[in-house]
Chain A
Amino acid sequence: MKNSIPTLEKLDRVFNPRSVAVVGDKQALGYMWLKSLTSFKGRVYSVQIDPNELPGIEKLGVPNYLNLNDIPDAVDYVIAAVPRGVVPAIVKDCIRKQVGGVCFFTSGFAETGTEEGIRLQRVITELANEAGLLVIGPNCVGVYNPRIGLRHNPIQTHGEGGPVGFIAQSGTHATMFTVVGARHGIRFSKSVSYGNAAVLDSTDYLDYLKSDDDTQIIGIYVEAVKDGRKFLSILRALTGKKHVIIWRGGESGEGARATASHTGALAQSSVVWNALIKQCGVIKVDNLEELIDVVKALLYVKPATGTRVGLVAMSGGQSVAIADTFARAGLQVPELSPVSYDRLASFFNIVGGSYRNPFDVSSSFLMSDNAIGNMANMLDVLDKDPKIDSIVLELFTIISPFSKNKNNPDPLLNTIAEFKERSKKPFITIVTAGYNETLAAEIRDRLLEKDIPSFPGFERGARTLKKLADYYKLRQGQSLN
């Protein structure tokens, strides 16, 4: 009998399970699934019939059963890592058990392009659709919900959640964004990798995250969608309500199509995706780094109101480089108002420095007796100047700008944090590595502890500010040119 619960309700059960069963975890996988679930706040069960695997599972303290239907408890979410030929049998077990949904880590289906793979995938689709079983994948890693410790990789963070949801066709991207993103201060509500989309497609997960109150920012990694019109209409409904960022993969693989019109010849798939992005007020990114940068900016940077930047660099050479990079990204580096120059002249040492915009603070910060006071004053000048929309501060990374002992309050860090708090303008820092990666990472972490966003290099900072400025402009209904 077909289960008639609406898809969104079923998804809610799967994203917030109270019990999870792992079918087929094994030594060869390093018991990856069961280890990922050591953080899970609900009940965990294992289903494994191979006697050689049982001691390993027992050692993890997880009760094992020979069949899903032997588990004396309701099962909300099933993760199956079984050989592909066994998948139809597991689908049937899940239907009988009336589980909330199942994710198949197993690959070897339509993605192989083989007759057997395509046939097996069709079997999954037909069995699941007939019974109303929710299937994630196959060929994916499924759901992540850090608040309840539901993970698909043991290195994912758990406990603390956040407002960012992620939908990824690729399991690697789902893992990388959640793991690398966490190092950049991004906290997640939910994420899902959905692989071959045999039953549910990106559109279904998007519909779910649209209605999920915990999710305010939605990232999507997608190569293709099945129901483009529905995808478009959900995105349109999200415009202005939640931030949506799309990373579209596979753009380079698209060839020309045979068409009979000028329009058809020019309407390549990447062009249409770009149209969708403009129509729905979505932010487009091209890789993991851009995705992280943009989400970080949405979380930690105040909305941009324009494209004029005030730039503070640590030396003469860097001040030229930062100005060039920000200008090349399409931002303006204007002269300041006369009143700003009057204020700067009162404390800024122009021997070994300059403050036209960009600022070279060698003499007034790096080699000054009043470094902290000068820094606060410089930032305040930029904050008060009506010709400046956003403020960028480069931090020196050859030696740490902060006190060595992380536990001691640092005057510079506090000054920057206080400035960020009182300024109404978007503010970012640039922490370039290069000489000492470990030190750069430490500086980034200390900034992040104070909710100060940093970007690894002028270019990433510049591109992010430009993307955000374009985005907020588009949201106001103006066109880009």
Chain B
Amino acid sequence: MTSKIITSALKDGRTVLTEVESKQLIAQAGITVVETKLAQSKTEAVEIAKKTGFPVVLKVVSPDIIHKSDIGGVKLNLANATQVGRAYTEIMAAAKKASKKADIHGVSVQKMAKPGVEIIMGMSKDAQFGPVLMFGLGGVFVEVLKDVAFRIVPLVRRDASQMIREIKGFPILQGYRGQEPANIAKLEDMLLKLSDFIDKTPQIKELDLNPIFAYKDGAVAVDARVILESQ
């Protein structure tokens, strides 16, 4: 299965997909993502924000800028058109300041997602076994504690079920200290859809869905990063 998104990025000589492209691709796998649109002007950003509904998030879209928040390329919780307009100007200025050569596609606009339990799912390729999927809790759990579980693609339901329960932080998903529990079955579905998609899309080299917000009734990928195999 070769998506147009992959073909066109490779045609441009790019292996790093932008957030907008990555999310569109992930959505094709049947995974719920926060709908994200590209704005190439301030006016466009405001229009999209109005249609999406406030509050929104704006992020710089550039295949050359990987750590977006480090350079001031992310603005959260924008409540009205004025704030969106100002954020657009600030992000573009910050991006240009950070890298003169960066290819800046514009700014992505998306609804500020309702907070949930932060999850990370991802894929990487092992030299011996090919694609492997990772599951963990997001933020400090993955970055500092490395509390993650892996399985080799293709996953079966039992694998998805076991890897979620294998992490030390599993009680957090069950609803810890009054926090809403995550819907484990939906997370299993998401892992299986991802496994299926990866199996059919060998052009993908690495992938992070980070974070995914997990809720009582489902889960949504808030950010996505896809890296393609170079041709």
Asked whether any CB of chain A lies closer than 8 Å to the CB of B122, the reply is yes
Q: Which of A255-283 contact B (CB under 8 A)?
A: 259-264, 266-267, 269, 271-272, 274-276, 278-279
Asked whether any CB of chain A lies closer than 8 Å to the CB of B16, the reply is yes
Which B residues touch A225, using CB under 8 A?
128
Give bound CA distance, A278 to B149, whole Å: 10
Contact A232 B129 (CB under 8 A): yes
Which B residues touch A480, using CB under 8 A?
162, 166
Give bound CA distance, A264 to B120, whole Å: 13
Contact A229 B129 (CB under 8 A): yes
Asked whether any CB of chain A lies closer than 8 Å to the CB of B203, the reply is no
Interface of A is mostly: helix
Contact B225 A481 (CB under 8 A): no
Asked whether any CB of chain B lies closer than 8 Å to the CB of A479, the reply is yes
Asked whether any CB of chain A lies closer than 8 Å to the CB of B134, the reply is yes
Q: State the Cβ distance, B22 to closest chain A Cβ, in Å.
A: 11
Contact B165 A275 (CB under 8 A): no
Asked whether any CB of chain B lies closer than 8 Å to the CB of A228, the reply is yes
Contact B128 A263 (CB under 8 A): no
A226, A259, A269, A279: the one contacting B151 at CB < 8 Å is A279
Contact A263 B134 (CB under 8 A): yes
Which A residues touch B208, using CB under 8 A?
261-263
What per-residue 1/0 map shows which CB atoms of A197-228 lie under 8 Å from chain B?
Answer: 00000000000000000000000000011101
Contact A261 B152 (CB under 8 A): no
Contact B166 A481 (CB under 8 A): yes
- Given contacts A275-B150, A276-B152, A479-B161, is CB(A263)–CB(B127) below 8 Å? no
Asked whether any CB of chain B lies closer than 8 Å to the CB of A477, the reply is yes
Asked whether any CB of chain A lies closer than 8 Å to the CB of B206, the reply is yes
Contact A261 B124 (CB under 8 A): yes
Contact B126 A228 (CB under 8 A): yes
Give bound CA distance, A429 to B81, whole Å: 76
Contact A262 B151 (CB under 8 A): no
Give bound CA distance, A226 to B210, whole Å: 32
A228, A263, A479, A481: the one contacting B129 at CB < 8 Å is A228
Closest chain A residue to B123, Cβ basis: A263
Contact B151 A275 (CB under 8 A): yes
Which A residues touch B143, using CB under 8 A?
262
Contact A261 B207 (CB under 8 A): yes
What per-residue 1/0 map shows which CB atoms of A231-275 lie under 8 Å from chain B?
Answer: 110000000000000000000000000011111101101011011
What per-residue 1/0 map shows which CB atoms of A158-175 lie under 8 Å from chain B?
Answer: 000000000000000000
Contact A262 B150 (CB under 8 A): no
Of B129, B165, B168, the most chain A CB neighbours within 10 A belong to B129
Asked whether any CB of chain A lies closer than 8 Å to the CB of B148, the reply is yes
Q: State the Cβ distance, B184 to closest chain A Cβ, in Å.
A: 12
Contact A272 B126 (CB under 8 A): yes
Q: How many residues belonging to B are interface residues under a CB distance threshold of 8 Å?
A: 36
What per-residue 1/0 map shows which CB atoms of B112-154 lie under 8 Å from chain A?
Answer: 0000000010111011111010100000001100101111100
Asked whether any CB of chain A lies closer than 8 Å to the CB of B158, the reply is yes
Which B residues touch A272, using CB under 8 A?
126, 128-129, 132, 150, 152
Which B residues touch A261, using CB under 8 A?
122, 124, 206-208, 225, 227
Of B150, B168, B227, the most chain A CB neighbours within 10 A belong to B150
Which A residues touch B66, using CB under 8 A?
260
Which A residues touch B168, using CB under 8 A?
481
Which B residues touch A269, using CB under 8 A?
126-128
Q: State the Cβ distance, B191 to closest chain A Cβ, in Å.
A: 13
Q: State the Cβ distance, A246 to closest chain B Cβ, in Å.
A: 13
Q: State the Cβ distance, A107 to closest chain B Cβ, in Å.
A: 23
B130, B142, B158, B206: the one contacting A228 at CB < 8 Å is B130
What per-residue 1/0 map shows which CB atoms of A449-481 lie under 8 Å from chain B?
Answer: 000000000000000000000000000010111
Contact A232 B152 (CB under 8 A): yes
Q: State the Cβ distance, A163 to closest chain B Cβ, in Å.
A: 27
Which B residues touch A231, using CB under 8 A?
128-129
Give bound CA distance, A146 to B129, whole Å: 34
Asked whether any CB of chain A lies closer than 8 Å to the CB of B35, the reply is no
Contact A278 B142 (CB under 8 A): no
Asked whether any CB of chain A lies closer than 8 Å to the CB of B189, the reply is no
Which B residues touch A267, using CB under 8 A?
124, 126, 132, 134, 150
Asked whether any CB of chain A lies closer than 8 Å to the CB of B159, the reply is yes
Give bound CA distance, A229 to B132, whole Å: 11
Q: Which of B89-120 contact A (CB under 8 A)?
A: 120
Asked whether any CB of chain A lies closer than 8 Å to the CB of B54, the reply is no
Give bound CA distance, A266 to B168, whole Å: 16
Contact B152 A259 (CB under 8 A): no
Contact A228 B128 (CB under 8 A): yes
Q: State the Cβ distance, A362 to closest chain B Cβ, in Å.
A: 41
Give bound CA distance, A225 to B151, whole Å: 17
Give bound CA distance, A477 to B165, whole Å: 12
26 contacts between A and B (CB under 8 A): A228-B129, A229-B130, A259-B206, A260-B225, A261-B122, A261-B207, A261-B208, A262-B120, A262-B208, A262-B210, A263-B124, A266-B134, A266-B142, A272-B128, A272-B152, A275-B150, A275-B151, A276-B129, A276-B152, A278-B151, A278-B159, A479-B161, A479-B163, A480-B162, A481-B165, A481-B166
Binding site for B on A (CB under 8 A): 224-226, 228-229, 231-232, 259-264, 266-267, 269, 271-272, 274-276, 278-279, 477, 479-481
A-B pairs with lowest CB-CB distance, top 9:
A263-B122, A228-B129, A228-B128, A264-B124, A479-B165, A479-B162, A275-B150, A261-B206, A267-B124
**7 new A-B pairs (CB below 8 Å) besides A260-B16, A275-B152?**
A231-B129, A261-B206, A261-B207, A266-B148, A267-B150, A276-B152, A479-B161
